[in-house]
Amino acid sequence: MAASTHAPRHDGRSVPKYQEIYEFLRGGIEAGRFPFRAFLPSENQLSAEFGTTRPTVRKALQYLGSQGYVQAIQGKGIQVIYRPRSTSRFFLSGIESLAEAGERIGTTVRTVVLSSTVETISEQAALAYGLSAGTEVLYLRRLRLLDGRAAIIDHNRFLRSVVPEIPPAAAESSIYAFLEHDLGVHIATASRMVTIEPADELDRRYLDLDGLDCVGVVESLGFDDSGVPFEYTRSHHVPATFGFVATAQRLPARG
């Protein structure tokens, strides 16, 4: 009998086989079962163990590589390059909700909605946000607590033609889960920029800045799978938990 292509989840939903393999390997790497510079089992071993094909295994390995966990070494296999960090380890090269990131790094996340309004994008804002002037957006300001520490303020703007509303329960848990499972939005890519900026009045009022007067800012423009920019977010982070990881590859040499 052929093996099932999906595995059960604790929440009752099923996941694709490549995601099952990805989560198994990522968990093993983070727990130290596959330590730094060790090699993972071969594609043949993994495909036999999980009852699936090598292309499915390869897709899981590509996800691990895109997030900085592993590197393919020609003639040798897949080597672990992940090293634990002392600060919160968010991804710049992968898209995940804060709830998903908290579960991955073992951090308790709580969200408080500070405000929720509807805005019309002005010409000036359109240049900054990458959203079309004259369109309506839902504008949410949310305080994010990591292990009880007021660590992040998210300024989220969602295009109303794609996201007409966000229930309070979703805003306080996972907006991405609501978008994907309730609205059927297929989140595809995001362009991001990271800066260090002076703290503003809202940051000083709510964040635990520990005497500092600056924040790490992650600016992100998210696209769905049809190429529509549907989300513009600026996240203000306290410096103590401002830690991001991205995988870099050598660009072709010029000249």
Question: 107 vs 166, which has greater pLDDT?
Answer: 166
Which tokens hold the place of 40? 């993972």
- Give the C-alpha separation, 206 to 29, whole Å: 36
pLDDT at 189: 92
Q: Give 157: exposed, middle or buried? Use CB within 10 Å, 0-12, 13-18, 19+.
A: buried
More confident residue, 88 or 167: 167
Class of the CATH domain delimited by 90-245: alpha beta
Q: Which CATH number fits domain 6-80: 1.10.3720.10, 3.40.50.2300, 3.90.1300.10, 1.10.10.10?
A: 1.10.10.10
Residue 128: per-residue pLDDT: 85
The residues spanned by each domain of the chain are 6-80, 90-245
Beta strand extents in 89-238 (DSSP E only): 90-91, 109-120, 136-146, 149-159, 187-198, 214-224, 229-237
DSSP state of 63: H
42: DSSP letter: P
CA distances from 30 to 37, 50, 68, 240 (A): 13, 20, 12, 22
pLDDT digits (tens, 9 = 90+) for 216-241: 999 999 999 999 999 999 999 999 88
**Range in 85-99, 161-175, 176-190, 200-214 the model is least confident about:** 85-99
Q: What is the pTM of this model?
A: 0.74
Helix (H) or strand (E) segment spanning residue 170: helix 168-171
Q: Output b/e per residue, 167-198; b: 16+ Cβ within 10 A.
A: eeebbebbbbebbeeeeebebeebebeeeeee
Dist CA 139 CA 157 (whole Å):
5
Is residue 199 predicted with pLDDT exceeding 90? yes
Secondary structure class of 23 (helix, strand, coil): helix
Report the pLDDT averaged over residues 16-24.
Answer: 92
| Of the candidate ranges 52-56, 126-130, 148-152, the one whose mean pLDDT is the lowest | 126-130
